[in-house]
Amino acid sequence: MSVTRRSQLSYIELIVVMAAGKVVWSVYNLADPLVQRPLTSWPVMAVVALLGYMALRLSNQAGVPDLWSPDVSDFRRFTLPVLLGAGFGLLQIVLVMLQGIRVPMVAFPLSVPVYTTVGILSELVLHYIPLVGILFSISLIVGEGRSRRTAFWIVAVIISLWEPVLQLTMMMRMNILSSPAAGILPFLLVWVANLLPLYLLKRYGLLSAISWRLADYLVWHVLWGALAPVVYVSLGL
């Protein structure tokens, strides 16, 4: 089954939105470390966009649904992942409050374009491109069936560990954690925040995974990022 024209246009629209966010924070000369990483540079983003398109073309052979697959309802494509993402964002807020951890975030309103761009970019780099690439390669060897399903879970667990390891390393370097043991819960949170969208991606396609990520970022980074300073001051923390 070939990739539909609608899916290709939707992918291009995602890339345009991703690029527009970078244009906005560049115009305002945002100097936050999050947007100064090589990953958010124009050349790297261009390469990611190209690799993402290649992944889109290979997605059906890899067993990943087309962006607008008729087998996936809009509830599973958008509503379910948005509810899960928003709920996970609320869970993150509660847990960091209980642990007294302060996570640096981009200030509102530039947090909106920043986390929109980073959200789309993260799903492409951390999940979509590697998952489709690996599953496509495996499908050439084992074909379809139980072997490929088993391979997915093995690959998903491995891929999902990448971001939590990076996050924990960064938090330790920035002295955000009071002790190494304090990093266990954040590590598990970020791991789940990667494993779940990988499952959504495999079952319902890229738009489902991005819906999850953007809903989570809206609650966690945008809304909480704007409210956290006020909340901490009011609580005397």
Q: What is the pLDDT of residues 123-135, one digit of tens each?
A: 999 999 999 999 9
Q: Which residues contact 47 (CB under 8 A, 6 or more apart)?
A: none
Strand (E) or helix (H) holding 140:
helix 129-142
Is pLDDT at 222 greater than 70 in this prediction? yes
Where does the pLDDT of residue 169 fall: very low under 50, low under 70, confident under 90, or very high at 90 and above? confident
Beta strand residue intervals within 69-129, DSSP E: none
Distance CA 50, CA 36 (A): 21
Nearest Cα to Cα of residue 80 among 185, 190, 208: 208
At which residue do the structure tokens 């697959």 appear?
Answer: 69
Residue 7 sits at φ, ψ, to 5 deg, of: -65, -40
**What pLDDT, on a 0 to 100 scale, did the predictor assign at position 185?**
80
What's the mean pLDDT when you consider all of the chain?
90
Where does the pLDDT of residue 108 fall: very low under 50, low under 70, confident under 90, or very high at 90 and above? very high
Distance CA 22, CA 202 (A): 28
**What pLDDT, on a 0 to 100 scale, did the predictor assign at position 143?**
65
Rounded mean pLDDT of 209-215?
A: 97
Rounded mean pLDDT of 148-174?
A: 85
At which residue do the structure tokens 């960091």 appear?
Answer: 96
CA 103-109-111 angle, 5° bins: 40
This prediction's pTM = 0.92
**What pLDDT, on a 0 to 100 scale, did the predictor assign at position 166?**
84
Q: What is the pLDDT of residues 39-95, one digit of tens each?
A: 999 999 999 999 999 999 999 999 999 999 999 999 999 999 999 999 999 999 998
**What pLDDT, on a 0 to 100 scale, did the predictor assign at position 82?**
98
DSSP string, 182-204: GGHHHHHHHHHHHHHHHHHHHHH
**What pLDDT, on a 0 to 100 scale, did the predictor assign at position 136?**
93
* Torsion sign over Cα 100, 102, 107, 111: negative
